[in-house]
Amino acid sequence: MDELDLGVFSEALEKSKTVILGANCSVKYSGRAESSLGFGDRVVIIKSDKTLLVHQPTGSNPINYMKEGSVHRIFKEGKQLIMRSSNIALKEFMDICIKKVYFFNVRGLEDNEKIQLNGTEQHMAEMIYNNPALVEKGFRPLSMEEHTKFGFIDVFGYDRENTLVVIECKRYSGDPKAVDQLKRYVEKVREAKGLVKVRGILACPKLSPAARQMLEKEGFEYRFVKPPKYLEKYDADQKKIGEYSDSDA
Amino acid sequence: MDELDLGVFSEALEKSKTVILGANCSVKYSGRAESSLGFGDRVVIIKSDKTLLVHQPTGSNPINYMKEGSVHRIFKEGKQLIMRSSNIALKEFMDICIKKVYFFNVRGLEDNEKIQLNGTEQHMAEMIYNNPALVEKGFRPLSMEEHTKFGFIDVFGYDRENTLVVIECKRYSGDPKAVDQLKRYVEKVREAKGLVKVRGILACPKLSPAARQMLEKEGFEYRFVKPPKYLEKYDADQKKIGEYSDSDA
DNA sequence: GGGGAGAGATGCCGC
DNA sequence: GCGGCATTTCTCCCC
C-alpha cells in the first residue's frame, strides 16, 4: 500500500488499529522541550493507545514521539500531507510534514501478554535475602525491597554483632550515584534510630573507580554480586533459588 | 504483503534495508537479563543498523529489542517461522517464534538529518551563564557544562563576596538525587580548594518536599528557573538569549 | 496525580 | 572501550 488513504487513516484511529507508515517527512515538536528535524526517511507508528513513534533508520530510540492518549489527524496541504498530533493534557504538540509515502499499513493488533523478566535488581535483592551468606556469615536479613520509613531499601538486616546493615543492589556497575543513594539511606537510618554505627554495603558485579573511592571514604563496603539468571530453573510458584551456595553460613 | 518471503528478508538485511513485520509471535531473550513473552500481535522492526525492536500494540517502549550490530536470520520450523538474533559481542540472544504474518514491508530508508533540541539542561546552564542575574545580583560565572577537576559542574562561579558557587540545573522537578549530586560537587570543591564555605544552588522549576528538606539541611539554596524554550527566537550562530531580563544586575 | 527509584535503560561526550 | 551524566527519559509502585 503506497498511497495513504485519508479515510482509511481516520477509520484506523477510530477503531484503535495500529498504523505503520514509511515516509519521507520532517518533524516539529513542542511540549516539555522543543525540537526540529529536517526531511528524511522514517517509520511512523501510531499504536492502538494513540502512542506515536517516529523512528529514524538507525538507533534504538524514537527520534520523536507523542505519549499515549494523544489525538492525531491528517490533512492535505498543497502537495504535502500534514499529520498533526496533540496532547492537550500534557501540552504537547507535533507536526509531521510528509513529502512522500513509501508504505502504509493498518491492522488491528491484539496482545494481552505480559513479559516475564529475570535478573533485575529486585531479583538480586531476593537472592541476597534468601542467601544471606552472599553478604557474609551471620548476616540476618530483616526485609527486602521495602518502603521502610528510612526510604526504599533493597536489603536491610543485622550482622552477627547486631549492627544494622543497609544493602544497595545494582545490577550493573556501581557508580557515584549508587554510593550517594546508599549514603542517604544509611544516614537516614542512623538519624532515625539515633545510632552511631550503621553499615552500608554496595552489592554489584562491578565498581567504578570514583565509586570505590567514595565507598572507602564513607567507610562502606563492596560485595561482588551478579544479578541472577535462572530462566530454565525458575519456579513461578515457589520463587526459590536453589543454585546459590550457603556454605559460608 | 502478507507473506514473508525468506529470500526477500535475507536480501533486505544484506542490503541494509529496513524491515517491518506485523505478526503474531512469542519472544525469548537472554543476555544482560532474561525474558519470556507469550504469543500476541506485535510489530517487529529491523533497522538498517541491525537494531531490532519488538513493539506491543500499546506503550512507548519496545517490549524486547536487540542492539545495533546484531545478526538476524530466519528459518522455518514446522508451521512456524523462527527469527533468531544474536549479538556475540554483547552475549545477547533472542528468538522470535512467528505463528502468523499480518504484514511485511521492506524498504531502503535514507536519513542524514539530526534533530535540533531546545530546552535541555544544557540550555538552562547556558541561559544562566549568559544571564547571571537569574541566580542573583553580582554572580560571576566562571564556567558552564565543563568537566572540571571537581567533576562535571553545570555552572560554576563567584558570588559578590567572592565565595565559590556550584549550581546544579534540573529541567524538571528537583529531587533527592539532584541534591545528592549537588552535595557531591560542593564537597569536592571544598576539599580540593581547602575551603570551609562553598555555596550550592539547585536551579529548577520545581522542588520535591524531600529535596527541599535536604537542601535546607545542607545549607544549600533553591532558585526557580525554567528550561528555556525559544524555537522561533533561537539564533544558531549567536546562541544569544535576549528575552531574559538582567534588571537585577 | 506526585514522589521516589529502577531500567536488558539509551545516547552523548570525554578520556 | 569505560566513566559519568542527561533524557521530551519511561515504567512501576506506593502514598
Cα–Cα distance for residue pair A229/A236, rounded to 1 Å: 14
Cα–Cα distance for residue pair A165/A169, rounded to 1 Å: 13
Residue with cell 513473552: B37
- Tell me which H or E stretch contains B101: strand B92-107
What is the band of A203 on the pLDDT scale with cuts at 50, 70, 90? very high
Whole-number pLDDT of residue A150: 80
Q: Which protein residue has its CA closest to C1' of C6?
A: A121
- Residue B107 has a CB neighbour count (10 Å cut-off) of 16
Q: Tell me the pLDDT tens digit for each residue of B143-189.
A: 998 888 788 999 999 999 999 999 999 999 999 999 999 999 999 99
> What mean pLDDT, rounded, does chain B reach?
91
Using H for helix, E for strand and C for coil, what is the string for B2-16?
A: CCCCHHHHHHHHHCC
Strands B164-169 and A71-77: unpaired
What is the per-residue DSSP string for B142-203?
A: EEEEEEETTEEEEEEEE-TT--EEEEEE-SSEE-HHHHHHHHHHHHHHHHHHT-S--EEEEE
Q: How far apart are the first and last CA of chain B?
A: 66
Nucleotides in C strand less than 7 A from protein CB: 1-11, 14-15
Task: Give yes or no for residue A68 having a pLDDT over 60.
Answer: yes
Cell of B81: 517461522
CB–CB of B25/B82 below 8 Å?
A: no
Q: Tell me the pLDDT tens digit for each residue of A83-142.
A: 999 999 999 999 999 999 999 999 999 999 999 999 999 999 999 999 999 999 999 999
A47–B55 CB contact, under 8 Å = yes
Average pLDDT over residues B27-43: 97
What is the band of A227 on the pLDDT scale with cuts at 50, 70, 90? very high
CB–CB of B72/B3 below 8 Å?
A: no
User: Cβ of B42 under 8 Å from any chain A Cβ?
Assistant: yes
Residue with cell 565543563: B146
CB–CB of B58/A48 below 8 Å?
A: yes
Taking the C1' atom of every nucleotide in all shown strands and the CA of B90, the nearest one is C8
Q: Is the CB of B31 under 7 A from strand C?
A: yes
CB–CB of B158/B142 below 8 Å?
A: yes
Q: Tell me the pLDDT tens digit for each residue of A151-184.
A: 899 999 999 999 999 999 999 999 999 999 999 9
Whole-number pLDDT of residue B141: 97
Whole-number pLDDT of residue B2: 64
